[in-house]
């Protein structure tokens, strides 16, 4: 059982992550997607917001997204605390600085703005969308990579 | 299984049974564990993916899509119903300008922070304090989108 405490091989991870899609729709009638949780939290924090995006949001109907991400957070804790032989380093040490914090805040901004504008992220578009043969989701995924590659190989390489 | 809470087909779609709610939470925990154990939530893995230095992330995403696709095919083919007895159908996400523009912005954020939305939560749970900045940024980005949405092409 030692392997459980090590990082899991790609095929175990890929199969089990993919299983999330049928599990969610069979057990809970939900389509797998994570970034709607941001809108849900925004709508719950500001129910009387003047922005339609928040005040017209169906808070009850999307409450599950909040429960789901609370689960993901607990899962992150369980995996690091009980299922890892060595301490898990998710972010490089260099991020532990004011400049690193600014980078994460700015990158996070792009994640929040971008996923909501695109209508989904890696889960809702790349996994659920493509799995349902939804072509805009394939296009979205290609754009995710275009943006990421531009930062890694282009201008971002100098800035970050 | 909470049979008493099983909703009928006529129930409001927003009404969730106790069983469905518990399932969502447990699947969330399952996925959070996977994000850490697969190292999908590790900045270095995302960086190496965008540098084309290792196949790890591509293999995981590809396998996950393949398995999800096979599952959806079987669900449709065998007309498998949900536990609540409802037909399973996918609501397509439509094409609009945001799919391209928003998609590229998100991709840039993914490369900078090494996290897509799910892994942000897993990182926070894992005790990576700096991930709170990523999360705060994501909330700011979402609020900004809410503010400018009427002015953006959709």
Cβ of residue B32 closer than 8 Å to a chain A Cβ:
yes
Confidence check: pLDDT of B8 > 50: no
* The pLDDT value given to residue B62: 98
For A5, A16, B36, B127, the CA distances from A81, given in Å and listed in that order, are: 10, 20, 11, 9
Cβ of residue A85 closer than 8 Å to a chain B Cβ:
no
Confidence check: pLDDT of B7 > 90: no
Contact A108 B138 (CB under 8 A): yes
Contact A139 B59 (CB under 8 A): no
Q: Which residue of B5, B80, B120, B135 is the best one to mutate when testing the A interface, meaning the one whose CB has the most A CBs within 10 A?
A: B120
* The pLDDT value given to residue B4: 45
Gap between the Cα atoms of B124 and B120, Å rounded: 6
Confidence check: pLDDT of B9 > 90: no
Tell me which of A159 and A86 has the higher pLDDT.
A86
Contact A58 B69 (CB under 8 A): no
| Confidence class for position B5, pLDDT limits 50, 70, 90 | very low
Q: Could you report the per-residue pLDDT of A51-88, keeping only the tens digit for each?
A: 999 999 999 999 999 999 999 999 999 999 999 998 89
Gap between the Cα atoms of B35 and B146, Å rounded: 28
Residues 6+ apart with CB under 8 A from A129: A120, A136, A137, A138, A140, A141, B92, B93
Contact B61 A126 (CB under 8 A): yes
Opening angle at CA B152, ends B148 and B153, nearest 5: 165
Contact A18 B145 (CB under 8 A): no
* The pLDDT value given to residue A127: 97
Residues of chain B with C-beta less than 8 angstroms from the C-beta of A10: 38, 55-56, 59-60, 63
Q: Could you report the per-residue pLDDT of B13-67, keeping only the tens digit for each?
A: 557 899 999 999 999 999 999 999 999 999 999 999 999 999 999 999 999 999 9
Q: Which of B56, B75, B147 has the CB atom closest to A10's CB atom? A: B56
The ipTM value here is 0.96
* The pLDDT value given to residue A154: 85
| Confidence class for position A12, pLDDT limits 50, 70, 90 | very high
For B134, other C-beta atoms within 10 Å of its C-beta total 32
* The pLDDT value given to residue B67: 98
* The pLDDT value given to residue A3: 86
| Confidence class for position A159, pLDDT limits 50, 70, 90 | low
Gap between the Cα atoms of B18 and A160, Å rounded: 46
Residues of chain B with C-beta less than 8 angstroms from the C-beta of A160: 112
Residues of chain A with C-beta less than 8 angstroms from the C-beta of B135: 108
Cβ of residue A101 closer than 8 Å to a chain B Cβ:
yes
Q: Which of B27, B44, B118 has the CB atom closest to A24's CB atom? A: B27
Gap between the Cα atoms of A49 and B108, Å rounded: 28
The token pair that represents A71 in the structure block: 């689960």
| Confidence class for position B142, pLDDT limits 50, 70, 90 | very high
Q: Could you report the per-residue pLDDT of B61-117, keeping only the tens digit for each?
A: 999 999 999 999 999 999 999 999 999 999 999 999 999 999 999 999 999 999 999
- Of A23, A127, A154, A13, the closest CA to residue B42 belongs to A13
Confidence check: pLDDT of A22 > 50: yes
């Amino acid at each position: 059982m030692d392997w459980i405490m090590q990082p899991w091989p790609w095929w175990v991870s890929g199969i089990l992550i993919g299983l999330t899609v049928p599990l969610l729709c069979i057990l809970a009638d939900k389509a797998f997607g994570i970034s709607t949780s941001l809108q849900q939290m925004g709508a719950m924090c500001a129910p009387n917001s003047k922005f339609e995006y928040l005040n017209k949001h169906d808070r009850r109907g999307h409450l599950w997204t909040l429960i789901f991400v609370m689960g993901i957070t607990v899962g992150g804790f369980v995996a690091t605390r009980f299922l890892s032989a060595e301490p898990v380093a998710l972010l490089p040490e260099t991020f532990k600085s004011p400049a690193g914090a600014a980078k994460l805040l700015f990158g996070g901004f792009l994640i929040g703005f971008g996923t909501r504008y695109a209508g989904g992220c890696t889960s809702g578009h790349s996994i659920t969308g493509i799995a349902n043969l939804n072509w805009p989701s394939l296009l979205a995924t290609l754009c995710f990579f275009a943006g990421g590659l531009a930062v890694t190989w282009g201008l971002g390489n100098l800035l970050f | 299984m909470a049979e008493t809470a099983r909703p009928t087909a006529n129930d409001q779609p927003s009404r969730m049974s106790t069983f469905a709610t518990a399932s969502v939470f447990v699947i969330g925990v399952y996925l959070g564990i996977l994000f850490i154990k697969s190292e999908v939530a590790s900045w270095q893995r995302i960086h190496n993916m965008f540098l084309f230095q290792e196949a790890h992330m591509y293999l995981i995403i590809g396998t996950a899509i393949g398995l999800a696709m096979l599952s959806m095919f079987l669900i449709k083919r065998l007309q498998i119903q949900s536990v609540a007895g409802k037909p399973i159908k996918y609501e397509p996400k439509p094409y609009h300008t945001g799919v391209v523009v928003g998609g590229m912005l998100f991709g840039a954020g993914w490369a900078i922070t090494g996290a897509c939305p799910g892994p942000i939560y897993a990182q926070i749970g894992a005790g990576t304090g700096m991930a709170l900045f990523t999360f705060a940024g994501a909330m700011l980005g979402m609020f900004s989108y809410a503010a400018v949405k009427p002015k953006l092409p959709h």
